[in-house]
């Protein structure tokens, strides 16, 4: 057998067998021992009964070929393929999945909560009991919340998910989980117990002590348990007025920013089991807060992904013991303690140390502190349930003797995405930079792409993910994650009106519904990236109205001049020359940034329309984009390529976005950009907007040597300066920590902010040389450009078609390039000093001449 179907995926999620729609798309990957193998056809089998044929090469997000599936139904699909060698593969292993959605009108559960809360955001326990009179076939729990919830049935937690159902624009979109709980239910008496806390729903946004809860003041949950009996009958247990609640549970207080307080003396044994005496509990309240009909989860759930032990125990300047986990991470602590009842253990968190103490000033108003009050039993193990922190260092105080480091574990949590991409080189500091990028994704992809995970913010800033989406979509399979977030973006855009995309999604900042270049452009850029990297035309279909709305909004602002001028702008945010108190004060004129992004979003909208077959829209927006380009060149660029804003970001924008009128003008731009970098001592001079583009701009205009020196610079500001300072994540500012070990004096300083790590996409595509040449890597571009500073580099990626790899290494004055091209794909190969060639799948090796490494 020359071909084997190695995996089958149903729709987008890879962390679960749940499917959220009735006609899920199918993808499969194939491995083949035959070189240049392509699929000429495939067969799909459903449940061993139904068969459908696919003609041709399509194997990624293939339309569902069968009748729509129905709620709670379980299925298995198998695939076999026929190759261009005429050989038919064996059937793949069955891929089982379950219909996790509900039928129209099937959701009936109201939100319930504590009837008489004593304070804002009061955590609560909810419960009910029910009888099962006959053997079950299946029991499925559907649940959601305003806030966060966890469910126990008969004293056992129903799943391993954390902070369910996550954060969405609650008034417009609410997610429900779907959980098979058949194994937890017995014939006879049963009980459901629910813990709820406020989480994002009751959080105070806006960076002021006086900010009220944005959505509502109290958490609530809604559940319905669908029971199917062996005799064909059904039953349903639903939250309602007969449920009971108490605010006297062990979680005394809980918040995303401040942390969680747990008093183990208040634990009520057996509260989620049948027969518990809830005489001290009260009837629940029926929540009157607005609630859209919940829909099934389409993005990965958040789970505990990793545990890290204490690497070092330090003593602070004030004599406090500090635990160092060796990595800036996102999650919470699990502690094992012994002591007298009533002893209060306090857990404080910080990303960095300053003068030997926890550096907590960057947390601003967030307390990031958990407390645990001992029950007084022999050994107690605890970790908070409804909060998370960004930290590398922690202090655990309150015990008579300092806690042993072996009794403290850091639990890393984030959205459970599949890792897909890797990069490695001969430059150890560069490898650490890439690892810092990975940890930045892990820390900030928690239900939504946040700007930072530690302070009183943790918001879905559109600008950050707009610049970082290509990098994230290489390192992880982000398709389901970012597609779900894009739905929220479109909803908040509709709510803002006029096509305006708010600064943050979900929109919780009262002044955020203002057009801002490079931020609102997430509406056009993120769907474009997802289509390019995952071959997903569906996201363009779903988001096209959002893309068009944003483009029309900007065109209206541009008017007859076809330039975006005036109004609020973030500009090239956090340009290294910007003072600590004014991050928007950049060298590049914000109007240049705005007009460049006007062109890009209109151009991307035209391209999406063409892909979707919307020919009138494609022609209209392409013509408008050309008018914007002409206006930009006339206003901001001389014939020789000198720009009115003589700054690194201005040239990078114009070069990468295609805003030049001739090859000579473009070459002039590139030459001036290289001069600016050289004049700045090969130190970075860009902020959030220019940083993802500058290396590409230099490379595209023949200045790879300058890009290499810029990349490997270690002086401040540079990508590697934080690495020299011990960074294990990407910083918000180039100098979040100063050379003397003190924290940047700016009020806004984070040590886990992925935007400036967007250069990693250039490492993957250009330094290693692995890029998409067609959507979803159906055609791969193999075009490594070896840097003089490196002896070797490798990029590996699990593409939608299977594993791909490009690696190069120096052998004297020659460079050996190796590549692995997945089955059912082809590659275009562009090597130094060679004419481009096309190759098919399989292993390939080439040897080319190259300049020697730096210093040889």
Query: Does residue 196 fall inside a structural domain?
Result: yes
User: Is the pLDDT assigned to residue 73 strictly greater than 80?
Assistant: yes
Indicate whether this model's pTM tops 0.75.
yes
CA dihedral defined by 601, 603, 604, 610, rounded to 10 degrees?
Answer: 150
Is 603 part of a structural domain of the chain?
no
The residue among 364, 390, 415 that closes a domain is: 415
In a domain, 80, yes or no: yes
Burial class (CB in 10 A: 0-12, 13-18, 19+), 207: middle
**Residue 697 belongs to a domain:** no
CATH number of the domain residue 254 falls in: 2.60.120.260
Q: Are 140 and 266 found together in one domain?
A: yes
Per-residue model confidence as pLDDT tens digits over 385-431: 999 999 999 999 999 999 999 999 999 999 999 999 999 999 999 99
Mean pLDDT of the chain: 96
Q: Which of 260, 457, 789, 820 is catalytic?
A: 457
**Residues 307 and 246 both lie in one domain:** no
Residue 85 shares a structural domain with residue 137: no
DSSP, res 538: H
Pair 211, 147 in one domain: yes
Condensed to tens digits (0 to 9), the pLDDT of residues 252-301 reads 999 999 999 999 999 999 999 999 999 999 999 998 777 999 999 999 99
**Model confidence at 725: pLDDT above 90:** yes
Q: Would 806 be classed as within a structural domain? A: yes
Active site residue 835: no
pLDDT of residue 206: 87
- Of 76-80, 207-211, 607-611, minimum mean pLDDT range: 207-211
Half-sphere exposure of 663 (CA within 13 A, CB side): 1
Q: How many Cα atoms occupy the beta-carbon half-sphere of 451 within 13 Å?
A: 21
> What's the mean pLDDT in 181-202?
97
Spatial neighbors of 611 by CB under 8 A, at least 6 apart, are 531, 537, 540
pLDDT of residue 163: 98
pLDDT surpasses 90 at 855: no
Residue 194 has pLDDT above 70, yes or no: yes
3-state SS, one letter per residue, for 610-638: HHCCCHHHHHHHHHHHHHHHHHHHHHHEC
Task: Answer whether residue 842 is part of any domain.
Answer: yes
Among 383, 415, 447, the domain boundary falls at 415
Residue 1 is predicted with a pLDDT of: 61
Query: Is the per-residue pLDDT at 512 higher than 90?
Result: no
pLDDT category at 851 given cuts 50, 70, 90 is low
Q: What is the mean pLDDT of residues 428-455?
A: 98
Residues 211, 253: one domain? yes
340 catalytically annotated: no
- Residue 218 reports pLDDT greater than 50: yes
My answer on whether 182 and 328 are in the same domain is: no
Both 290 and 185 in a single domain?
A: yes
Spatial CA neighbour of 777 closest among 733, 821, 725:
821
Q: Out of 415, 446, 479, pick the residue that ends a domain.
A: 415
Alpha carbon of 373 to those of 260, 344, 378: distances in Å?
11, 4, 14
Catalytic-labelled residue, pool 177, 380, 732, 820 = 732
Kindly state the average pLDDT of the residues 653-657: 98
- 245 and 199 housed in the same domain: yes
Supply the pLDDT for residue 210: 73
Read off the CATH number of the domain in which 68 is found: 2.60.40.10
Q: What is the pLDDT of residue 702?
A: 97
Answer yes or no: do 370 and 274 share one domain.
no
Looking at the fold, whether 250 and 324 belong to one and the same domain comes out as no
Q: Give the integer Cα–Cα distance in Å for 95 and 17.
A: 9
Return the DSSP state at 62.
B
Do 219 and 321 sit in the same domain of this protein? no
43 with 124, same domain? no
pLDDT above 90 coverage of the chain, percent: 96
Assign residue 840 the CATH number of its domain.
Answer: 2.60.420.10
Would residue 547 count as lying in a domain? no
Q: How confident is the model at residue 856 (pLDDT cuts 50, 70, 90)?
A: very low
What is the band of 24 on the pLDDT scale with cuts at 50, 70, 90?
A: very high
Contact 821, 812 (CB under 8 A): no
In what helix (H) or strand (E) does residue 81 lie, and over which residues does it extend?
Answer: strand 74-83
Q: With beta carbons less than 8 A apart as the criterion, state whether 447 and 384 touch.
A: no
pLDDT digits (tens, 9 = 90+) for 515-572: 999 999 999 999 999 999 999 999 999 999 999 999 999 999 999 999 999 999 999 9
Q: Average pLDDT of 579-594?
A: 94
Q: So what's the pLDDT on residue 854? A: 43
Considering only residues 318 and 142, tell me which one the structure prediction assigns the higher pLDDT: 142
- For residue 818, the enclosing domain spans 779-849
Cα separation, 850 vs 813, in Å, equals: 6
Which pLDDT belongs to residue 850?
79
Total domains, the chain: 4
Q: Is residue 151 part of a domain?
A: yes
């Amino acid at each position: 057998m020359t071909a084997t179907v190695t995996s089958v995926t149903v729709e987008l999620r890879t962390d679960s067998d749940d499917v959220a729609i009735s006609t899920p798309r199918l993808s499969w990957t194939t491995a083949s021992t035959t070189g240049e193998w392509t699929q000429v056809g495939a067969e799909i089998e459903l449940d061993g009964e139904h068969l459908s044929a696919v003609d041709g090469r399509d194997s990624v997000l293939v339309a569902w070929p069968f009748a729509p599936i129905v709620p709670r139904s379980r299925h298995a699909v198998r695939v076999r393929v026929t190759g261009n060698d005429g050989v038919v593969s064996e059937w793949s292993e069955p891929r089982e999945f379950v219909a996790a959605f509900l039928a129209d009108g099937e959701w009936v559960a109201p939100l319930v909560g504590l009837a008489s809360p004593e304070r804002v955001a009061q955590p609560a326990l909810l419960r009910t009991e029910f009888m099962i009179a006959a053997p079950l076939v299946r029991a499925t729990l559907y649940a959601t919340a305003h806030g966060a919830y966890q469910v126990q049935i008969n004293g056992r937690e129903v799943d391993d998910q954390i902070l369910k159902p996550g954060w969405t624009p609650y008034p417009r979109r609410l997610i429900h989980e779907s959980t098979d709980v058949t194994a937890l239910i017995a014939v006879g008496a049963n009980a459901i117990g629910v813990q709820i806390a406020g989480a994002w729903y009751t959080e105070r946004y806006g960076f002021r002590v006086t900010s009220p809860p944005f959505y509502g003041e109290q958490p609530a949950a809604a559940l319905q348990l669908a029971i199917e009996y062996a005799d064909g009958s059904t039953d349903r247990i639903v939250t309602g007025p007969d449920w009971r609640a108490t605010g006297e549970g062990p979680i005394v207080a809980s918040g995303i920013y401040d942390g969680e307080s747990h008093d183990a003396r208040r634990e009520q044994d057996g509260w989620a089991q049948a027969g518990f005496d809830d005489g001290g509990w009260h009837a629940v309240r029926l929540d009157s807060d607005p609630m859209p009909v919940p829909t099934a989860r389409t993005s990965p759930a958040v789970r505990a992904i990793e545990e890290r032990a204490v690497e070092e125990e330090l003593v602070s300047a004030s004599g406090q013991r500090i635990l160092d986990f060796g990595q800036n991470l996102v999650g919470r602590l699990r502690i094992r303690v012994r002591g007298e009842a009533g002893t209060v253990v306090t857990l404080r968190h910080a990303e960095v140390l300053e003068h030997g103490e926890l550096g907590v000033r960057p947390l601003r108003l967030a307390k990031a502190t958990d407390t645990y009050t001992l029950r007084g039993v022999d050994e107690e193990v605890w970790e908070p349930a409804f909060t998370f922190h960004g930290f590398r260092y922690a202090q655990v105080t309150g015990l008579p003797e300092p806690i042993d480091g072996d009794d403290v574990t850091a639990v890393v949590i984030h959205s459970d995405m599949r890792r897909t991409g890797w990069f490695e080189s001969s430059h150890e500091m560069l490898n650490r930079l890439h690892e810092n990028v990975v940890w930045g994704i892990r820390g900030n992809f928690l239900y939504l792409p946040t700007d930072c995970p530690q302070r009183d913010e943790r918001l879905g800033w559109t600008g950050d993910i707009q610049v970082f989406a290509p990098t994230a979509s290489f390192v992880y399979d982000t398709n389901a994650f970012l597609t779900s977030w894009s739905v929220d973006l479109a909803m908040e855009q509709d709510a803002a009106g006029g096509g305006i995309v708010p600064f943050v999604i979900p929109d919780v900042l009262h002044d955020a519904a203002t057009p801002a270049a490079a931020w609102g452009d997430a509406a056009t850029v993120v769907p474009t990236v997802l289509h390019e990297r995952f071959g997903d035309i569906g996201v363009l279909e779903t988001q096209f109205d959002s893309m068009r709305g944003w483009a029309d909004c900007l065109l209206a602002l541009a008017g007859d001049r076809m330039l975006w001028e005036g109004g609020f702008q973030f500009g090239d945010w956090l340009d290294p020359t910007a003072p600590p108190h004014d991050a928007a004060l950049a060298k590049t004129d914000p109007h240049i940034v705005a007009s460049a992004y006007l062109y890009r979003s209109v151009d991307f909208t035209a391209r999406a329309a063409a892909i979707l077959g919307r020919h009138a829209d494609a022609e209209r927006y392409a013509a408008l984009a050309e008018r914007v380009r002409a206006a930009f060149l006339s206003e901001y660029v001389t014939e020789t390529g000198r720009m009115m804003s003589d700054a690194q970001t201005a040239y990078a924008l114009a070069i990468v976005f295609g805003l030049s009128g001739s090859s000579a003008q473009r070459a002039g731009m590139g030459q001036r950009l290289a001069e600016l970098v050289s004049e700045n001592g090969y130190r970075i001079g860009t902020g959030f907007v220019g940083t993802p583009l500058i290396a590409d701009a230099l490379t595209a205009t023949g200045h790879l040597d300058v890009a290499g020196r810029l990349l490997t610079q270690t002086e401040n500001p540079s990508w590697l300066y934080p690495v020299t300072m011990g960074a294990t994540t990407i910083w918000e500012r180039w100098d979040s920590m100063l050379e003397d070990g003190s924290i940047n004096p700016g009020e806004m300083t984070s040590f886990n902010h992925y935007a400036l790590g967007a250069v990693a996409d250039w490492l993957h595509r250009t330094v290693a040389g692995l890029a998409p040449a067609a959507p979803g890597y159906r055609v791969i571009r193999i075009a490594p450009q070896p840097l003089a500073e490196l002896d070797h580099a490798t990029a590996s990626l699990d593409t939608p078609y299977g594993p791909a790899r490009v690696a190069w290494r120096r052998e004297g004055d020659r460079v050996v390039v190796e590549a692995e091209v997945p089955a059912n794909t082809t590659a275009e190969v562009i090597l130094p000093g060679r004419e481009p060639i096309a190759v098919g799948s399989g292993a390939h090796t080439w040897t080319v001449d190259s300049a020697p490494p730096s210093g040889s």
